[in-house]
Amino acid sequence: MNITLNNVGKRFNREWIFRHCSYQFQSGRAYAITGSNGSGKSTLLQVISGSLTHNEGSVTVKNDQQQTVAAEQLYTNISIAAPYLELIEEMTAKEMLDFHIQFKPLIDSVSINEILQTVGLLNAANKQIRYYSSGMKQRLKLALAFFSNTPILLLDEPTTNLDADGTALYHHLISNYTKGKLVIVSSNDKQEYEFCDEVIRIGDYK
C-alpha cells in the first residue's frame, strides 16, 4: 500500500490548519507526524485515514497492484488507535474483539485470548469496558489496532494513559506486529516515534 498527499490543505471555518502538504507514504516504512499540541498533526492523521475531508488537494491510496482504493473501502485497509476513538463500554473486551472481527479481520496467527494475554487484559476479558481504567482502555485500543489484519496502521498519541509497563508493551507491539505495514504515528513525544524512518513536521505546512 502507499498513500500520496498532493497539495493537501484542511481548514476549520476560515482558519487553515495546514496547507500545501505533499508527501508519499510507502509500505514497510514508518513515519512520524510531529508538532506541538493543537498544531494539526491529529487533523492530518484523520485526513489520511479518511475520517476528515480535506478542503484542497488530493489523497490517493493505492494497493500493491497500484490500483486506487475506493473511499468506501478505505476502512478495510486501515487500523487506528487514538484518544478520541470510543470503545463500546457496555461490552467486555472479548465481546469488543468479536464485534470488531465482523468489520475487520484479525491477524491469523493469534487467538483472541492470546491477544488479550499479550496486552495484559486476559484476567479482565469478561469485565465490562466501562469498569476499565484509562490505561486498560488504551491497551484494548492498541490491541484492536495492532492485531487487525490491515496493511496500514495509524497511531495518534499511542501511549496516552499508559504507565511504564504499558509503554513497554507499545514498543513490544511495534517490534513484533508491524512487519510489512505502513505505520504513521502522530505525536510530540519522541519515545512514541523514535523507531520511525521519516519525520514530518506539521509546522512546515502552515
Can you list the alpha helix ranges (DSSP code H) found in the chain?
41-49, 93-101, 112-118, 134-146, 164-176, 190-193
Q: Which domains does the chain have, with CATH numbers?
A: 2-205 (3.40.50.300)
d(CA 93, CA 137): 9
**What are all long-range contacts of 167-172, with beta carbons under 8 Å and residues at least 24 apart?**
167/191, 169/118, 169/119, 169/120, 169/139, 169/142, 170/142, 171/195, 172/118
Integer CA distances (angstroms), 107 to 14, 142, 151, in order: 43, 14, 11
65's grid cell: 497492484
d(CA 23, CA 205): 11
> Which has the higher per-residue pLDDT, 108 or 175?
175
Q: What is the mean pLDDT of residues 173-181?
A: 96
d(CA 55, CA 11): 7
Specify the 3-state DSSP secondary structure of 204. Answer: helix
pLDDT in tens, 44-103: 999 999 999 999 999 999 998 889 998 888 889 999 999 999 999 999 999 999 999 999
Give the CB-side neighbour count of residue 66, counting CA atoms within 13 A: 0
Q: What is the mean pLDDT of residues 112-124?
A: 97
**What percentage of the chain reaches a pLDDT higher than 90?**
89
What residue type is 85 in one-letter code? Answer: L
Quick one: pLDDT at residue 72? 84
Neighbours of 203 (CB within 10 A): 13
The residues, any chain, with a CB within 8 Å of residue 76's CB and separated by 6 or more, are 104, 150
Quick one: pLDDT at residue 113? 96
Quick one: pLDDT at residue 64? 85
Integer CA distances (angstroms), 4 to 20, 63, 70, 82, 181, in order: 13, 12, 14, 22, 16
Nearest to 102 by CA among 88, 90, 89: 88
